[in-house]
Structure 1
Amino acid sequence: MRIHTTAAVLLATSLLALTGCSNGTDASADARPKKTPAATPDASAPPKKLEPVWKPKLDRAAGRDAEATAACQRPSSNACARYVKNIMGTVDGLVAAIEKTGQEYPKSLEQIGKMKEAESEYKANGCQGDLTADDPNSLCHGVVGVTIGVVTLGMTLYTDEVGR
């Protein structure tokens, strides 16, 4: 009889452990990994600032120590054209980031507009490779709207985000 009782207790204990009824909860549920809710943006969280991310990118595109500005003293140079392309490519990425935020960046977008206008004039005047572009009276020197504009853009990003 004692063997039957021990066997019955062992069997009951095993069944309880398997079914998880030992403490009134589902033990198998406790053993399963907990599902965490997907991370959703908190509407009350402040929007992410663009200036700390994009100013260094803009600075890199312009080169160290204003290399772009120095290179574009000769607007006909391939170096100037390369800097214009790098800067404006970075600016295009910034515009996409601004649109993604859904926030207003009025000063930054105004500066970007001036830079795009200077880039268009640089291209329309065929400045790259044209030695007459290096003449101080050439319209090609308007490219400074891109090379100086990139420095200004870093500051206007900051200004647009102050107080948010």
Structure 2
Amino acid sequence: MRARTVITALLLAAAATAGCSNAGDAKPTKTVTSTPASPAAAATAATGDLAPIWTPKLDAAAGPNAEATGACQTPSSSECARYIKEIMVVVDGVDAAINKTGKRYPQSTAQIVKMRDAQKVYTDEGCEGDPAADDPNSRCHAIMTITVGPATLGMTLMTDDLTS
């Protein structure tokens, strides 16, 4: 149990570090639709742990150095809309995987609900392509829940894996 706690702490620290971004280091991104599972992830699949399988996919959807957060400083941009769509496709996969396990993932499920709520605001407000969406007082900035969501969801998956 102690080794698992140490591993969890290291993974949380790595996830927090991966979430840091330097806006000046923006690089072109490419669409990532799937990340192959590593041998370690395949091995943990037998135990039912979701974090080792889904955290890399969430990170890939958010882009290198969590580029989605930087791109969505301008919620109206097509780049932001692309990241939102890619992240939420992976989130839908996480949700389906949670349902398939038959286990309770309360923190992860709560995070998924928050992300879906933010996506609904983004869609309902018509944020993509609307210059008014970029106003700091716009409700469209609720999408930050989605752009930081991959790191948060990855951590909650680890926690829920340990407790479920």
Q: Give the structure-2-normalised TM-score.
A: 0.70
Q: Equivalent residue for 1:154?
A: 154
Q: Equivalent residue for 1:35?
A: none
Tell me how far 1:162 sits from its aligned partner: 1.3
Matched pairs, number: 119
Q: Equivalent residue for 2:31?
A: none
Q: Equivalent residue for 1:41?
A: none
CA separation of 1:132 and 1:163: change in aligned 2, threshold 3 A: closer
- Which amino acid in the other structure matches residue 135 of structure 1? D
SS of 1:162's equivalent in the other structure is helix
**Where in structure 1 do 4 or more consecutive aligned residues deviate above 3 Å?**
none
- Which amino acid in the other structure matches residue 117 of structure 1? D
SS of 2:104's equivalent in the other structure is coil
Q: Does 1:129 align with 2:133?
A: no
Unaligned stretches of 5+ residues in structure 1? 1-45
CA distance in 1, matches of 2:55, 2:112: 13
Tell me how far 1:48 sits from its aligned partner: 1.6
Tell me how far 1:47 sits from its aligned partner: 3.6
Q: Equivalent residue for 1:110?
A: 110
- Which amino acid in the other structure matches residue 144 of structure 2? V
Tell me how far 1:163 sits from its aligned partner: 4.6
CA RMSD of aligned residues (A): 1.1
Q: Equivalent residue for 1:79?
A: 79
Q: Equivalent residue for 2:142?
A: 142
Q: Matched residues, percent identical?
A: 56
SS of 1:137's equivalent in the other structure is coil
CA distance in 1, matches of 2:47, 2:150: 23
CA distance in 2, matches of 1:66, 1:161: 23
Unaligned stretches of 5+ residues in structure 2? 1-45
- Which amino acid in the other structure matches residue 123 of structure 2? K
Tell me how far 1:96 sits from its aligned partner: 0.7
- Which amino acid in the other structure matches residue 48 of structure 2? K
CA distance in 2, matches of 1:131, 1:75: 9
Residue by residue over 1:108-150, the C-alpha shift from the partner in whole angstroms, topping out at 9 and shown as x without a partner, is: 0000000000000000000000011111111111110111122
CA distance in 1, matches of 2:147, 2:163: 28
Larger radius of gyration: 1
- Which amino acid in the other structure matches residue 67 of structure 2? E
Residue by residue over 1:55-78, the C-alpha shift from the partner in whole angstroms, topping out at 9 and shown as x without a partner, is: 000000000101000000000000
- Which amino acid in the other structure matches residue 97 of structure 1? A
